[in-house]
A and B are shown apart, each in its own frame.
Chain A
């Protein structure tokens, strides 16, 4: 295999080699090579197939803007990333690299037929062709299009790498470490400011990596850059992040960075994250993001071997690689001459510089003459040939039809330079159009931010260095020289790709958008660039139009006969380049995806064989299956045992708020519909909380421990929002009340013991309290001692049985649970979980807020009108409850439903109608909110919201299901122990 590496050229070390495969073939690279430079060094130009037409494509650039060479890069079957830009990814020893979007081979791709069918694939084709019939879209069109047009394939295995996150703060963040960025960073750092300097490449230097003509401070640019880097790295207030992309510029100088930590390493240390997300808050941001060279838009400008002039220069000067042996140049800008000269001096045959400008700079022309390079000024490249790589370019004098074919194996092009204003634009800065130089530049800043250097349109190196130094806040005095200015060039279609031609002159390589497509969009009525973009998909690929946007805009403007600013510029959005999901997710996967909250009793529940269900972030015991039991059997047994003997239940997740202060009762009066003044210490009351609109917000038992101290309970899921709601009123509406709220949900382990034997179970463990019905009746609370620890004991019930809730400090919970269960087990009690809890409460018609209510249910709708004080002058909801819609007749009310077939358990959410034969759309009366099999009653039960429900007692309603209609009778909600005697023991 011939090496295209030039001895003595480039900065890589010849002795340090890495081996990799590309499409199964083994190649050798040097350490520091990108995949692109390594393949080019091996003479490989064909790197992929284009998205739509499957045209052969090679490397176009040497940076992040690469639209063509997207590859699969893998270490193994799980560590495989699609759509990796060959110009960015560094080669590591053992890399497995494959081309994409081709079948069966890269060199012979059956999808290439799309190229022949291209008249059918013009802009807007998908929109127009696949509109109908609708079914065909999902079944036919989309799968076929996806198969034909897909890019890489994501691995199916779980990503074995890990990713890290870091929040950071700094005085100055500098994006880009070229001449401007390095200067700004050094300037800032010397003032003592904390500085983060970021660059997406492996090495700092930016354009200094390829531009051999820049001298700074008397040194060649590259050497100067490394000198500055060494100084920065020695300063404790500076952090230099290379291989790191500033992908997002968000509000208030919040900056997202993606650092690629191990992707270049052959055998990364396992402790290292693959990538690290940096979330930086900077007091000031310096944007030194440089400029991106534009391609020329001409016929067949996409063959492998055709690339940006600066890219060829980078491959030569940095990587020591010749991109061809017979090279043509097509330019509208001076900088391509420098590329030609560098190549020529390295011994490469540069056959012609085709300059579309009539009168190029005389100094360049004479330099070309000295080097013996032909310059065709006032000429254009009007076509190219070559199947898998360019073999010739066809040139013509502008305006002439006399063509001349020149054999080349590489063609360098430069349309000039586009300032990289992406991050500035993301920061919501406003751009202005520089008509003289045909470019958009930063104008009005929205953040504490400054642009310096090429991204700010500053061309002259001395001015650039002065501007960057000033931006850093220091006073560096640097001199600089460069060979050419960045301004100039052209945008839009070049000669021969004009309005009257049907040639394929690519504007957007990644999405296969041609100049003709843009014109078609305009002809079809798209007049705004936002519409043209969506119609043609120009700039909508993952490269976000870094190369294509300006060309597309210019072609559209020309067609519309408007100035560029009138056509508009599409908004640049984050991310600047694609960011992996792994990086964005960082630590939040596996166990760290979301906190799994476990109660202090969790270990005991696991030991007892509980199945768990997620309730918010909590893991709650769902049911406790015994050997051979399914859920149904276990729940039936638990329900029976709890009512016949007793059941023991972990209620620790119940929200708890300690309300303390002289105005505690006054505050609760305002927060609940009930009255609290008359609740004596030692007593509990069930409270309902409404929002100002009168709808039920939460409920729970409130115990009064002392005149100035209440123990409030909330629903498990409602705890945080209820506290927030209470704090809102306390801080902003009733700030004069002397009362404070403290969440104590997790202070207490709560063990509910419910059933006829409940008292027998806990009595021996409780000290200092008479548990008899007379001394401690239903709805009592007391502070006492349980097994030697201070406890709060509640006599409450969510089952309708005699019940206690034992609250002990959380660390003691497991020990007390064990003792209670030991006694309970001996007496024939059972453990029960949330499922049984739900069934038992439904048997008693106790509602669950959020299940039986949905934010549109008033206390009266729920049958809890008695809980609304008629005497209070004020509470949250008092006015809302008087709204006309809330007091009208016909509202949906909670009622019980008994299916006429006892064994039929309704589906929660099932819709209810009065007349099953009514034609559709039927009149919905409401829906089933809770439905269970009740083993205690030997039948199914349900709770439902039904319009005028209480007026329908005894009537039959119907629940139409997919395959049948179920008849049910409306009843009151209490199904079990209607007299309610059991609760009092």
Chain B
């Protein structure tokens, strides 16, 4: 069972209190009503499902209730960083090279 750091509670708590909420940094298009089918498919259906370093959303649903973002290695299950919702995609701590997708 994972131990997850909640950036709002400022401490790590049991996975039991959390709910996974999918890939992070997929912003809902401002002009969603106008976007093309392809753009909508990209936004709503297509996910990277990364093996390795993944930016994810979690919700501390049975705690402070907040959604937040993490960087997790999906192979080792190590959390590299937790940060508040609304912040830009954070770099991988300790990584010297920017990881692909950083610009998004």
Q: A residues bordering B, Cβ < 8 Å?
A: 250-254, 279, 281, 428, 446, 692-693, 724, 727-728, 731-733, 735, 873-874, 878-880, 882-884
Contact = CB atoms under 8 A, between A and B. Distances in A.
A281 B85 contact: no
Contact of A281 (B3, B40, B44, B61): B3
B67 A880 contact: no
Given A251-B77, A735-B85, A880 B2 contact: no
Nearest to A279: B1
Nearest to A727: B65
A883 B40 contact: yes
B82 to A, nearest CB: 13
Interface in B31-74: 32-33, 35, 37, 40, 44, 57, 59, 61, 65-67
A421 to B, nearest CB: 19
Given A251-B3, A873-B33, A728 B21 contact: yes
B32 A250 contact: no
B21 to A, nearest CB: 7
Contact of B1 (A252, A728, A731, A733): A252
Interface residues of B, number: 24
Contacts of B85: 731-732, 735
A254 B1 contact: yes
A879 B34 CA distance: 7
29 contacts: A250-B1, A251-B1, A251-B2, A252-B2, A252-B3, A253-B3, A281-B3, A281-B14, A428-B76, A446-B76, A692-B28, A724-B61, A727-B59, A727-B65, A731-B66, A731-B85, A732-B57, A732-B67, A733-B27, A733-B28, A735-B85, A874-B32, A874-B33, A878-B33, A879-B33, A880-B40, A880-B44, A882-B33, A883-B37
B70 to A, nearest CB: 13
A909 to B, nearest CB: 28
A864 to B, nearest CB: 20
A735 B33 CA distance: 20
B1 A735 contact: no
Nearest to B40: A879
Nearest to B24: A732
Given A880-B44, A882-B33, 4 more contacts: A428-B76, A724-B19, A728-B59, A735-B86
The 7 A-B pairs of least Cβ separation, nearest first, read A252-B3, A254-B1, A879-B32, A878-B33, A731-B67, A733-B28, A251-B77
B81 to A, nearest CB: 15
A692 B39 CA distance: 13
A884 B28 contact: no
Contacts of A727: 59, 65, 67
A285 to B, nearest CB: 13
A880 B76 CA distance: 36
Contacts of B21: 728
Contacts, number: 56
Contacts of A874: 32-33
Nearest to A691: B44
B67 A728 contact: yes
Contacts of B86: 732, 735
A693 B44 contact: yes
B89 to A, nearest CB: 14
Contacts of A281: 3, 14
B18 to A, nearest CB: 12
Nearest to B27: A733
A874 B30 CA distance: 9
B3 A254 contact: yes
A878 B32 contact: yes
A736 to B, nearest CB: 10
Interface in B74-95: 76-77, 85-86
A800 to B, nearest CB: 35
A884 B36 CA distance: 11
A728 B19 CA distance: 12
Contacts of B19: 724
Contacts of B27: 733
Contact of B59 (A279, A724, A733): A724
A728 B22 CA distance: 11
Contacts of B35: 879
Contacts of A732: 57, 67, 85-86
Contacts of B2: 251-252, 254
Contacts of B37: 883-884
Contacts of A873: 33
A785 B76 CA distance: 59
Contacts of B67: 727-728, 731-732
A85 B61 CA distance: 43
Nearest to B22: A728
A731 B67 CA distance: 7
A694 to B, nearest CB: 10
A203 B14 CA distance: 32
B27, B32, B59, B66, most chain A CB atoms within 10 A:
B32
Nearest to A733: B28
Nearest to B39: A879
Contacts of B28: 692, 733
Nearest to A720: B61
A732 B65 CA distance: 12
A165 B32 CA distance: 49
A733 B27 CA distance: 7
B72 to A, nearest CB: 11
Contacts of B57: 732
Contacts of B77: 251-252
Contacts of A724: 19, 59, 61
B56 to A, nearest CB: 13
A863 B76 CA distance: 49
Contacts of B61: 724
Contacts of A692: 28, 44
B85 to A, nearest CB: 5
Contacts of B76: 428, 446
A250 B3 CA distance: 10
Nearest to B19: A724
Nearest to A255: B1
A446 B65 CA distance: 30
A880 B86 CA distance: 25
Nearest to B1: A254
Nearest to B35: A879
A59 B66 CA distance: 57
A888 to B, nearest CB: 13
A733 B35 CA distance: 17
A279 B35 CA distance: 49
Nearest to B86: A735
A885 to B, nearest CB: 10
Contacts of B32: 874, 878-879
A253 B14 CA distance: 11
B36 to A, nearest CB: 10
A883 B3 CA distance: 40
Nearest to B14: A281
Contacts of A878: 32-33
A458 B1 CA distance: 31
Interface-centre pick from B28, B35, B85 (highest chain A CB count, 10 A): B28
Most buried by B among A250, A253, A731: A731
A884 B1 CA distance: 42
A692 B27 CA distance: 13
Contacts of B14: 281
B52 to A, nearest CB: 15
A278 B61 CA distance: 24
Contacts of A880: 40, 44
Contacts of A883: 37, 40
Contacts of B1: 250-252, 254, 279
Which of A724, A732, A880 has the largest number of chain B CB atoms within 10 A?
A732
A873 B33 CA distance: 7
B37 to A, nearest CB: 7
A446 B77 CA distance: 10
A588 B86 CA distance: 39
A273 B86 CA distance: 48
A251 B1 CA distance: 5
Nearest to A248: B1
